[in-house]
Amino acid sequence: MVTTYTLWAPAATDLVEVAVEDQRLPMSRVEGGWWHLETDAVAADAPYAFCLDGGEPRPDPRGRRLVDGPHGLTTPYDPATFAWTDQGWAGQTLEGSVIYELHVGTFTPEGTFDAAIERLDHLVDLGVTTVELMPVAAFPGVHNWGYDGVALFAVHEPYGGPAGLQRFVDAAHGKGLAVALDVVYNHFGPDGNYLREFGPYFTEAHHTPWGAAVNLDGPGSDEVRRYLLDNVVTWLRDFHLDALRLDAVHALIDDRALPILEEMSREVDALAAEVGRPLTLIAEDDRNDARTTTPRGEGAVAAGLGIHGQWTDDIHHALHVAITGETDGYYADFASPDALPKVFTGAFYHDGGYSSFRGRAHGRPIDRATVPGWRFVASLQTHDQVGNRAVGDRLSASVDPARLAAGAALLLTSPFTPMLFMGEEWAAGTPWQYFTDHQDQTLVEAIRAGRAAEFASHGWGADEVPDPQAAGTVEASRLDWDEPTQGVHARMLAWYRTLLRLRREVPDLRDSAMDQVSLDWDPDARTAVLHRGDHRVVAHLGDGPLDVSLDGGQVVASWDDAGTGEEVRLDGPGALVIGPR
């Protein structure tokens, strides 16, 4: 049997060899910086690496499996060998979705795809439609958030490798759940990153918070872009994923006339037509620009980038301030009395006005009448907003359950696509902290010192900030699956299930027309009333009692037993959903 190896390595000057089965087999140079070899001298499944100009063996940048991590050899894996059973899966559009974000390594005690499969029934019963996996691209060590990935085409082996991901997707589809994957194209991790040795994957012409930018517009960038575009396609086609969440697209610095994001959306839409089911791109975009999700123009006419949806932090920030009263850092602007009403009726708070955190004007206005709310992914908690706090404390650590319930009512009856962070639905008592398992001790010490310095400015001592490398940090971050059956955790879970059931069953509560939404906010009483067609959602975040007139309606859901008279009273924080009789 002939085995074929291909590699883009324009940085190699004289020689590229395949290191396989104790041999070094020379490759032939072909056009465009590519190298090629066909041989029948080795087994097709033999682990291999590439050696450039007599150098050390390096894993294949497009390798599918790294059994020993990104410093080891590449093990061949053909995703077409998997026996799929999801032929009847019709897919899930972003419109109508409810997303559940989870980290494979801490979602279960075992931290694997197979263990996560055993918890899918919980998600079905909860009422979500889409499971969003945090990044699974291979990274060094065992434990990591995943944003330090260095091998885009390989699935992290301790999670279960590529076959494990395919089993998870197949099982989720069998239960009616779509699967999204968080992917990182704006930077690569520092540990195990050998791409510079192969070619111009990075450019000094642009810089990001992580260093030199990925080369999207300089010399050699055609193949770098192809590398990213092929990665998008392989997840959606070969692993049957339904959506990709694109990390921090504002850091994809690209001066070309045809932006990489528009290219991605074109290829994904073409692939969706080919496979016959919806495929979705969701951008994390700090620019507050609805053009990211505006459909592309016809032919050569430019319009939007055509990304299907975007994370919208302004909604999170306004809710967070309303629920917690925190106004430090980037939360400061959201203490304004108009913040909550503005984001619920227009997604962005910063839509061209001044941002005190940035020290400049930020964002762009949107047309509420034409931009549907489902394009904006909204949340109360995310991996970022929890894990980037000094001790990884969830809202449940500092906010009483009734206020959490009120926040959930606003989120889950909003015109946006709601997203939950794993454990949020039962007010998990476990933190979710920043953890790593880097092998480079210099890098380890730099991260420790950096985090200690960052949080010292906020009054946290170095001994209070969890050590990212400590085994106890990742262990503390694992969900406790005994909690959902106990006390207030069980009650919160029932509340989330009720709200999601109402969202499914009541058209008013999932209507995404933002120009049909209004929200009244009383900053003194700390009470929000969200108007959704013939329904009202009352979220009381204050401490005193609140009398609520039903105005001929009836309570269809309440955090407390609020009664059914003409007027009901909330004795403290809580929420009501009021509908017509």
**Residues of the binding site:** 245-250, 313-317, 383-388
* CA end-to-end distance (rounded Å), the chain: 73
How many CB atoms neighbour CB 497 within 10 A?
14
d(CA 360, CA 356) in angstroms, rounded, equals 7
188 close to 150: Cβ distance less than 8 angstroms: yes
Helix (H) or strand (E) holding 538: strand 535-540
100, 419 contact by CB (below 8 A): yes
For the annotated catalytic residues, the residue numbers are: 247, 284
The whole-angstrom separation of Cα 509 and Cα 538 is 13
- Alpha carbons within 13 angstroms on the beta-carbon side of residue 292 total 24
CB 170 within 8 A of CB 116: no
* DSSP labels, 275-308: HTS--EEEEE-TT--GGGGSPPPSTT-------S
Three-class SS state of 36 = strand
What's the CA gap between 158 and 110, in Å, rounded?
10
Kind plus residue range of the DSSP H or E element containing 522: strand 517-522
Residue that is written with structure tokens 């085409």 in the block: 153
Say which amino acid occupies 324: T
Strand locations in 175-295, DSSP E?
178-183, 202-208, 211-214, 243-246, 280-284
- Report residue 299: phi and psi, to 5°: 60, -125
Judged on CB neighbours under 10 Å (0-12, 13-18, 19+), 461 is exposed
Query: Binding-site residues for substrate, please?
Result: 245-250, 313-317, 383-388
